Structure 1
Amino acid sequence: MSLKNPVETLLQWAKDKPNQPWLYQPVNDVWKKYTWAEAEAQVRSMATALRSLGLPPGSAIAISGRNTAHWVLADLAVAMAGYISVGLYPKQAPEAVTYILNHCEAKAVFIGPMPDVDEFLGALPAGIKTIAFPYADVPPCDHNWDDLVRAHEPFAGYQPPDPKALASLVYTSGTTGNPKGVMITSENLVFATGGLLKTMPAQGQERFFSYLPLAHAFERGAVEMASIYLGAEVWFLENLDKLADQLKHVAPTRFFGVPLVYGRIQAGVLRKMPQEKLDRLMKIPLLSTLVKKKIKKGIGLQNARYLFVGAAPMPIPLMQWFEKMGITVLQGYGMTENNIYATANLPGANRIGSVGRAMPGADMRIYEPDEKGEGEIQYKHAGVTPGYYKDPEKTAELFTADGWLRTGDRGRIDADGYLFITGRVKDIFKTLKGKYVAPAPIEGALSRNTDIDQLCFVGAGLKQPIMVITLVQPNEKSREEIEQGLIADMEAVNAKLEAHEQIAKIVVAKEAWTIDNNIMTPTMKVKRNVVEQRYMPLLEKTAGDYKTKVVWE
């Protein structure tokens, strides 16, 4: 049976279970509920309001701010009115905001609560209409959500668009150059969600916790779209300072995170119970069970049947640590260009170190594999984007001559169909010795060290590659203890590498890597080129000193 599109599915839920709560929005720790019927009413009236603004058919309308109930309602209202939604990250660089809005020729933008709102407003192109979400920390705009909803009748006569028509633009937060607008159709969304329903059907009333940016395809698909089709509740994070407390309050049945989030959860547990004490308790059978139960409840993951990590590789030691706590974290893989529909590990079919097996209908191949079976990972299925908006040249580069999506990732598939990612095609660099080095596997190997928060292996222009890292904070260990651990792990990693791949030394960066200082993308990936630019003077200065294994900035 074919699925309806997201707007049709909303209308169906509003008819079938009108009084069932769907969205939970916290304001000062008080949760306001929106039932399916209330959500439908808001979406219909906002769709009428958008039409009343006189925007040309098919116009792009942007949605900004942190995750809120109104972000999701706006997305559906834009679709119902026949426009194209464009998500913007809460901490998007002003120049990126200006570029995106000009590139898609956005006619209006919803303004949600966000940090640095003045910078955001200053980045808006002249003439764009602004609509304020109804939150106290949103500045005055041309229009206000509540006023528009009250002033307009519910939209009637909704007609589903052509499934292949453009529904949304998701701009990549790429590490170099201007963002690219990935075109997403209703067909893309419905295909990916259909596969998700097959592999992970609802088990009772599902509950999601939404905190990763909805502008990113991962959260949009895994939470917004999944909640619509599963009839699941969505509880939104009020602000980052409340993440631990509100996660514990919500106790979701499905939880999605990036490696950085899981690393912070581990650090929070170890601050309360040091690893040595935890290891002792875990050796006592009865106490072990009680400790695991207490940790799960203390985090807020006691109800989670599915815990997924995506957007970047999760260190194997971190996954194994959670496994020892009785918490199985499942690694998945996907990209905006294939609507985050590629592979996933699943309960009972989880191979740590891999990113799982192909999802239903996701045709996958390794293109021109080498002697190790490694080559570029490529896909062909109905969830794959038609291409990049207004960029036929880059669209042509995205696909092979026979129509397969080029991911830019290298990998291999084992005998049981599990995919292992071994690096990025373009991340491979050449040292001054003329030897090529793939950084991803080496970064993954060194990430066994639990003092490391972020790391980036660089070597272009150097005789021997150097690892740049930041440390987990707070850290109660002395500098000497940290150095000893880093050197021991570096030597263990080097022992398995070719001479030209070995880590010459580790440079400990003083400044944390964040979205704000432009070293990480909004999806929390390290910008390799920025790390190289920022630290290259220090790397070149210390490169000749092979005796010093750890350098502190």
Structure 2
Amino acid sequence: MDNTTVLHSLFAGNEAHPDKPLFHQPIERQWHTFTWGEVTEQAKRIAQGLQAQGFEKGDRIVIMSKNCAEWIIADFAIAMAGMVSVPIYATAGVNIIEHVINHSGAKAIFVGKLDNLDAAKAAIPSTLLSISFPYPTVECHEKWNDWLTAFEPIAKPYLPTSDDMATISYTSGTTSLPKGVVLSHKNFASAADNVIKLFEIRDGDRSISYLPLAHITERSLVAVFVRCKVEVYFTENLQTFVADIQHASPTGFSSVPRLWSVFQAQVISQVGAEKLDKILKLPIIGKLVAGKIRKKLGLHKARTFGSGAAPMSESVLAWYHRLGMPINEGWGMTETTGLASGNMPFSHQDLGTIGKPMPNIDMKLSPDSEILIRGDLVFSEYYDDPEATAENFVDGWFKTGDVATITETGAYKITGRIKEQFKTAKGKYVMPVPIESLLFANLNVEQACVLGAGQKQPVAMVVLNQSCKRKSTEIIKSLQDTLAKVNSQLESHQKLDFIMVCSHGWTVENDLLTATTKVKRNDVERHYGWLFDEERGEGVLWEEDLH
């Protein structure tokens, strides 16, 4: 067995301290603890259950569930059985579920906690063996707890090598059907090395697992958890989210920009932006208030803070820094097994950038300013798609599709994605991401998407924070000021004709966000296609006034 694999760390930890807590799972507001011994024992029994079905080494097994202890235990079990796990987001729609199951050639599926059962019921074929986690979910052929009783622990668990395939992780699919990214145990070990070193992970640290385990960022942390004996807490549901964070008191916390903005809006709605600004400037009282805010969020024990998946406004980053929460912006992809570069250790000078490359990889810019990357983090191939694999590699370098500049400090600053740029009627190309980042300087803006392919000028769709009083004089003026300020920083072909305030937010449920909360630009453009049917005015427009 290669001692870099996650199973090596699990077996070693179990042998050294079988009674030490590993997972903490809330069920109907009661916390249930899984020790190292219990996790290993359950994984071995589920592994035996998989082998008893006649499945063979390398067979693909799907996991579709919100985060829970059983998700990770199932992942361990699949590896112990010599098979390959294939995660599906718990929020995935019918077409994505069908695509992943069919494309991967899955032999079975574990199904667990889901907020909505409709898609899973419609998409999971009755011919595919299904095993339900011990939570309310869709009707399955087999039950998790029945397997724990029926099967003895696997006598000889498969011992993977670093080159073995660990998973097929499907991309979020912002512009097309997701591609299956083949990741090895070496990829995960390399990712873990980076996180442990740069975040200074210590034995006994605590983490809260709520970002989807189907996403590579959270998934790659599993190797960190077992290697460093981190106690992992799960959340029960959206309503208990903050309470669960407070209970866990994590020593590190990472999120996506949207959630950081929601936290910020909640704090400001209770205190007031100007009042809080004045308080934080007071030397002693400011620190006390900042500490109380961190404690209310459950983050008073956190040493490190992170953000990824999308660029974060520099004004929001600066706001959190004043609260004693320096957020390290990171960047990575499914193809890089998660984090590939980051502002770590935190540097105020590199605020608003994705920092510098991780220690064990190489990064550079192509002549077209596209980020190229290589190293042990980087995947080997797209599953069953040699054309896409060949298209995305050049001389051993992976073409990320992200465009960037390099600052004087050597940090990388993302300016957009090649696939997201569009051409206006004037024949000029526009990168939407930098413009959206400028819009986020307005703390009332929670979501933004700049469109304008084939139009005379770009326009901005925005969604306001729920705490805002729509159409109030204050909100209207703030948006007008933002539009003027943003346009003053843009070249003539980039200037926004108007900002349209959308009536409803973009969510995973209305199919305008991916499961990782990235805006699905093509779908947003289709959804608001009617906007370009006729000439519109300038300034700040409201969706409800245009119908």
- Measured against the shorter chain, the TM-score band is over 0.9
- Residues 107 and 129 of structure 1 are in contact (CA less than 8 Å); yes or no, is this contact kept in structure 2? yes
Q: CA deviation at 1:160?
A: 2.1
Q: Give 2:523's aligned residue.
A: 530
Picking from 324, 327, 332, the partner of 1:326 is 324
RMSD: 1.5
- The AA in structure 1 aligned to 2:87 is G
Q: Give 1:30's aligned residue.
A: 30
- Residues 64 and 87 of structure 1 are in contact (CA less than 8 Å); yes or no, is this contact kept in structure 2? yes
Q: CA deviation at 1:186?
A: 0.8
Q: CA deviation at 1:455?
A: 0.4
Distance 1:252 1:292 in 2: 17
Distance 1:113 1:418 in 2: 40
Picking from 435, 440, 455, the partner of 1:442 is 435
Distance 1:505 1:108 in 2: 50
Picking from 451, 455, 468, the partner of 2:461 is 468
SS in 2 for 1:7: helix
After superposition, residues 125-164 of structure 1 pair within 5 angstroms as 125-135=125-135, 137-164=136-163
- Residues 169 and 182 of structure 1 are in contact (CA less than 8 Å); yes or no, is this contact kept in structure 2? yes
| Residues 1:17 and 2:11 are matched in the alignment | no
Q: CA deviation at 1:451?
A: 1.0
Q: Give 1:388's aligned residue.
A: 382
Cα offsets for 1:47-77 (capped at 9, x unmatched): 1111001123311100111100000000010
Cα offsets for 1:411-465 (capped at 9, x unmatched): 1222322111111112111100111111111110111011111000011021011
Cα offsets for 1:299-333 (capped at 9, x unmatched): 11111111110111111111111111111111001
Cα offsets for 1:273-299 (capped at 9, x unmatched): 111221232232221121011001011
- Residues 172 and 514 of structure 2 are in contact (CA less than 8 Å); yes or no, is this contact kept in structure 1? yes
| Residues 1:378 and 2:376 are matched in the alignment | no
| Residues 1:452 and 2:445 are matched in the alignment | yes
- The AA in structure 2 aligned to 1:295 is I
After superposition, residues 38-57 of structure 1 pair within 5 angstroms as 38-57=38-57
5+ long unaligned stretches in structure 2: none
Q: CA deviation at 1:246?
A: 1.3
SS in 2 for 1:483: helix
- Residues 201 and 230 of structure 1 are in contact (CA less than 8 Å); yes or no, is this contact kept in structure 2? no
Which of 517-526 and 475-484 deviates more?
A: 475-484
- The AA in structure 2 aligned to 1:518 is D
Distance 2:159 2:347 in 1: 37
After superposition, residues 68-87 of structure 1 pair within 5 angstroms as 68-87=68-87
SS in 1 for 2:434: helix
Q: Give 2:277's aligned residue.
A: 279
- Residues 519 and 526 of structure 1 are in contact (CA less than 8 Å); yes or no, is this contact kept in structure 2? yes
Q: Give 1:231's aligned residue.
A: 229
After superposition, residues 212-231 of structure 1 pair within 5 angstroms as 212-222=211-221, 224-231=222-229
- The AA in structure 1 aligned to 2:428 is K
- Residues 341 and 362 of structure 1 are in contact (CA less than 8 Å); yes or no, is this contact kept in structure 2? no
- The AA in structure 1 aligned to 2:148 is V
Distance 1:459 1:118 in 2: 35
Picking from 531, 541, 547, the partner of 1:550 is 541
SS in 1 for 2:381: coil
Which of 174-183 and 512-521 deviates more?
A: 174-183
- The AA in structure 2 aligned to 1:517 is N
Picking from 289, 292, 306, the partner of 1:308 is 306
- Residues 426 and 456 of structure 2 are in contact (CA less than 8 Å); yes or no, is this contact kept in structure 1? yes
- Residues 387 and 398 of structure 1 are in contact (CA less than 8 Å); yes or no, is this contact kept in structure 2? no
Distance 1:530 1:74 in 2: 34
Distance 1:326 1:205 in 2: 23
| Residues 1:95 and 2:95 are matched in the alignment | yes
SS in 1 for 2:246: helix
- Residues 60 and 108 of structure 1 are in contact (CA less than 8 Å); yes or no, is this contact kept in structure 2? yes
After superposition, residues 188-267 of structure 1 pair within 5 angstroms as 188-222=187-221, 224-267=222-265
Q: Percent identity?
A: 37
- The AA in structure 1 aligned to 2:505 is A
Distance 2:43 2:247 in 1: 28
Q: CA deviation at 1:348?
A: 4.4
- Residues 173 and 521 of structure 1 are in contact (CA less than 8 Å); yes or no, is this contact kept in structure 2? yes
Q: Give 1:372's aligned residue.
A: none
Q: Give 1:341's aligned residue.
A: 339
Which of 349-358 and 107-116 deviates more?
A: 349-358
Q: Cα distance 1:159–1:105, how it changes in 2: closer, same or farther (>3 A)?
A: closer
- The AA in structure 2 aligned to 1:101 is I
- Residues 468 and 475 of structure 2 are in contact (CA less than 8 Å); yes or no, is this contact kept in structure 1? no
Cα offsets for 1:7-37 (capped at 9, x unmatched): 1110100011111100000001111000111
Q: Cα distance 1:279–1:102, how it changes in 2: closer, same or farther (>3 A)?
A: same
Q: Give 1:110's aligned residue.
A: 110
Cα offsets for 1:396-418 (capped at 9, x unmatched): 11111x11000000012223221
Q: Give 2:170's aligned residue.
A: 171
Which of 80-89 and 281-290 deviates more?
A: 281-290
Q: Give 1:270's aligned residue.
A: 268
- Residues 218 and 311 of structure 1 are in contact (CA less than 8 Å); yes or no, is this contact kept in structure 2? no
- Residues 79 and 158 of structure 2 are in contact (CA less than 8 Å); yes or no, is this contact kept in structure 1? no
Cα offsets for 1:346-386 (capped at 9, x unmatched): 234452111111111110011115xxxxx000101011111
SS in 2 for 1:342: strand
Q: Provide the TM-score with structure 1 as the length reference.
A: 0.95
- Residues 3 and 194 of structure 1 are in contact (CA less than 8 Å); yes or no, is this contact kept in structure 2? no
Q: Give 1:397's aligned residue.
A: 391
- Residues 195 and 201 of structure 2 are in contact (CA less than 8 Å); yes or no, is this contact kept in structure 1? no
Q: Give 2:184's aligned residue.
A: 185
Q: CA deviation at 1:532?
A: 1.1
Q: Provide the TM-score with structure 2 as the length reference.
A: 0.96
SS in 2 for 1:55: coil
Distance 2:95 2:8 in 1: 36
Cα offsets for 1:176-196 (capped at 9, x unmatched): 221110111111111111222
Distance 1:61 1:169 in 2: 10
- Divergent runs of 4+, >4 A: none
Distance 1:542 1:273 in 2: 41
Distance 1:7 1:203 in 2: 19
- Residues 310 and 331 of structure 1 are in contact (CA less than 8 Å); yes or no, is this contact kept in structure 2? yes
Number of corresponding residues: 542
Q: Give 1:486's aligned residue.
A: 479
Distance 1:183 1:229 in 2: 22
Q: CA deviation at 1:4?
A: 2.2
Distance 1:348 1:503 in 2: 33
Distance 1:159 1:49 in 2: 14
- Residues 382 and 389 of structure 2 are in contact (CA less than 8 Å); yes or no, is this contact kept in structure 1? yes
Q: Cα distance 1:56–1:474, how it changes in 2: closer, same or farther (>3 A)?
A: same
- The AA in structure 2 aligned to 1:221 is S
